[in-house]
Amino acid sequence: MMSRLPTLTRLSYILRNKCIERTQCGLKKFTTHRYYTTASRLKLDSQNVVSSYFPDVTGYENVYVHDFVWENIGKWPNKTAVVCSVSGRTYTYSQLRKTCARLATSFRKCNLLPGDKLAVILPNIPEFMIVALAASEAGMTLTMINPAYTVYEIKRYLELSDAKAVITWSAKYADAQASVRENPNIKLPIIIANDSIDSTVIPGTIKLTDLMRDDIEEFSVSQKTGVSFEADVYMPFSSGTTGLSKGVQLSHRNIVANLQQIIRPELYGPVEATESYQDIIPLILPLFHIFGLILSMNANLRLGNKLVCVPQFSQDGFIKLLEQYRPTHLQIVPPIVQILAYNKRITPRHVENMKTIVSGAAPIGDESISMFQDRISDSVIFCQGYGMTETSPAISLSCDGAPTASCGYLISSSQMRIVGENDDNRDKNLGPRELGQIYVRGPHVMKGYFKNPEKTAETMDGDWIKTGDIGYYTEEGLIYVQGRLKEMIKVKGLQVAPAELEEVIRACDKIQDVGVIGVSHDKYGEIPKAFVVPKKGIKIDEDELKKFVAERVAEFKQLGYVQVVESIPKSATGKILRKKLEEL
């Protein structure tokens, strides 16, 4: 296939009058008056298929996830791998590796076989990481369940995943027990992971610590049982914001490929540890979500970094974490960016060591970033990532000065096309700056939905995955995501992105939070409706807010309705649950 590269252009981005230089210890900052420049990174063929600008990744085809994570452990065996921000419980890399190997051995001795599904219902504690890596080594498939779920939801996910065993902690035991009571697939009593703070013994359960004892012989289980590199290693559930959740089958090859695609010096802020340096990254994003599991946990363990587990997020706990651990990088979601920007208790001293902040899982605009830069620091680099559970998860990343509104560049060994959704361009591959649905293919794309061939067929177009996201790419190769296809509001036949209106409304100084959906309209088909949370003590005038929006957007994007609510329903990763808004 002949590739056609557009004329290379040079774009200049002023990063607050600072030039950024990458060093072994992260991103070194200089106060200068030079521009940060970058050439076009768009590789476009005659069929309008975009290929990644970066060199292809290799060697992922025959590597297990745990082996990839541990490959360089000999460089930093005595460095801290993980510490719990609540209990202070700490593992060095050597201790973590040995503990995972012992637990993998115990899983096999408990008759948990390669391919069996292990359900973990845990907060962000070190034991979650141990279980995840041990399950990989035992050839099992880890399925992750949100600890906030009800008995009904846990029961449903256990049944959907065909789970054979459940690991939780004492606070969730009653719900877990009620969920497995009539489940014939469960092989073992519930395994309880308690920390040093909570040493509760629950009769009829297995203590995780008993499966990790020092006297357990270690051996590489997966190597001895011939587990395929195409075997499922993780089975998270796709977001339920647009329909029923589905088990996503991600293989060792999928995950190792995506880890290689992510850990590039141009795209990933944290760097590999040395004798004198180690990046510090809080594990704030839930590990039951693919973003936290892959980008925060596995990628940073591979690099030898220090991870700080955050079992439960709170603003007070977050501020204490910033003060105590002085993190060098943050990997978070937009609501936490807003806390950094607007909480008056957070000051420049809290981010003295911070080099990058990566936000993902939901869009974030310039308003919160500008507030952070004006009030806290203009030297921390803000980056956005784009991905989905079905792509292991990263599709694009940027850590090198791309505009903050963009999602950066397509990762290595992958391709993308923008497919038209309107009558005049339906099913056509579109060119730069033309809006359509994002299709992606590469080694990180899922195998399919577990026991759901119909939904798999709906989502896949050959080896291309239809992301369900609306976006476009520029002449420079930058990717912009405008919203979800099913969330797009169609007014008079024109598409309106809820995320765009939400960003406009957030700029109003009376608004604390906002969510936008489309509602039926006899004349226009649909019309936007905003659910708004006013700032404390503020009363919202509907007409005044409508006028505020009308002055900033085209006529067809203007608000039809405004409803004041106490909070905007969101997932654990910050995505607005628009179906919940529809119920309101």
User: Do 373 and 512 reside in the same domain of the chain?
Assistant: no
User: Do 577 and 429 reside in the same domain of the chain?
Assistant: no
pLDDT higher than threshold 50 for residue 255: yes
Q: Which of the four pLDDT bands, split at 50, 70 and 90, describes residue 273?
A: very high
User: Do 443 and 574 reside in the same domain of the chain?
Assistant: no
Higher pLDDT, 225 or 351: 351
Distance CA 366, CA 386 (A): 16
User: Do 417 and 559 reside in the same domain of the chain?
Assistant: no
pLDDT score at 363 = 65
Residue 200: CB atoms within 10 A of its CB come to 12
Long-range contacts of 102-105 (CB under 8 A, 24+ apart): 102/211, 102/212, 102/213, 102/214, 102/216, 102/218, 103/130, 103/131, 103/134, 103/208, 103/211, 103/212, 104/134, 104/135, 104/137, 104/138, 104/221, 104/222, 105/138, 105/216, 105/217, 105/218, 105/219, 105/221
Higher pLDDT, 445 or 481: 445
Task: Specify the DSSP class assigned to residue 567.
Answer: -
User: Do 197 and 121 reside in the same domain of the chain?
Assistant: yes
User: Do 445 and 529 reside in the same domain of the chain?
Assistant: no
How many structural domains comprise the chain? 2
pLDDT higher than threshold 90 for residue 12: no
pLDDT score at 224 = 58
pLDDT higher than threshold 60 for residue 61: yes
pLDDT average, residue stretch 246-256: 97
pLDDT score at 14 = 24
Q: Which of the four pLDDT bands, split at 50, 70 and 90, describes residue 221?
A: low
Task: Name the nearest CA neighbour of 17 among 38, 3, 33.
Answer: 33
What amino acid occupies position 316? D
Residue 26 lies in a domain: no
Residue 4 lies in a domain: no
**CA 326 to chain CA mean position, Å:** 22
Residue 33 lies in a domain: no
User: Of 428, 446, 479, which residue sits at a domain end?
Assistant: 479
Residue 497 lies in a domain: yes
Tens digit of each residue's pLDDT (9 = 90 or more) over 204-214: 999 999 999 99
Higher pLDDT, 46 or 16: 46
Asked if 208 and 192 touch (Cβ cutoff 8 Å), the reply is: yes
pLDDT average, residue stretch 86-90: 93
Residue 47 lies in a domain: no
pLDDT score at 130 = 98
Asked if 403 and 12 touch (Cβ cutoff 8 Å), the reply is: no
Cis amide prior to 393 (ω within 30 degrees) = yes
pLDDT score at 556 = 87
User: Do 190 and 333 reside in the same domain of the chain?
Assistant: yes
pLDDT score at 544 = 95
User: Do 466 and 494 reside in the same domain of the chain?
Assistant: no
Task: Name the nearest CA neighbour of 143 among 443, 477, 389.
Answer: 389
User: Of 448, 479, 510, which residue sits at a domain end?
Assistant: 479
Residue 236 lies in a domain: yes
pLDDT average, residue stretch 69-87: 97
Asked if 366 and 393 touch (Cβ cutoff 8 Å), the reply is: no
Q: Which of the four pLDDT bands, split at 50, 70 and 90, describes residue 198?
A: low
Residue 268 lies in a domain: yes
User: Do 140 and 213 reside in the same domain of the chain?
Assistant: yes
pLDDT score at 126 = 97
Q: Which of the four pLDDT bands, split at 50, 70 and 90, describes residue 335?
A: confident
pLDDT higher than threshold 50 for residue 138: yes
Q: Which CATH number goes with the domain that contains 522?
A: 3.30.300.30
**CA 482 to chain CA mean position, Å:** 18
Asked if 267 and 400 touch (Cβ cutoff 8 Å), the reply is: yes
Q: Which CATH number goes with the domain that contains 264?
A: 3.40.50.12780
User: Do 455 and 509 reside in the same domain of the chain?
Assistant: no
Task: Name the nearest CA neighbour of 489 among 562, 579, 565, 556.
Answer: 556
pLDDT score at 40 = 84
User: pTM of the full predicted structure?
Assistant: 0.84
pLDDT higher than threshold 90 for residue 186: yes
% of the chain at pLDDT higher than 90: 69
Residue 9 lies in a domain: no
User: Do 249 and 199 reside in the same domain of the chain?
Assistant: yes
User: Do 93 and 224 reside in the same domain of the chain?
Assistant: yes
pLDDT average, residue stretch 459-480: 95
pLDDT score at 505 = 94
**CA 279 to chain CA mean position, Å:** 19
Domain residue limits at 551 = 489-583
User: Of 479, 506, 540, which residue sits at a domain end?
Assistant: 479
Distance CA 243, CA 483 (A): 16
Task: Specify the DSSP class assigned to residue 212.
Answer: S
Tens digit of each residue's pLDDT (9 = 90 or more) over 227-236: 999 999 999 9
Q: Is 453 exposed, middle or buried (0-12, 13-18, 19+ CB in 10 A)?
A: exposed
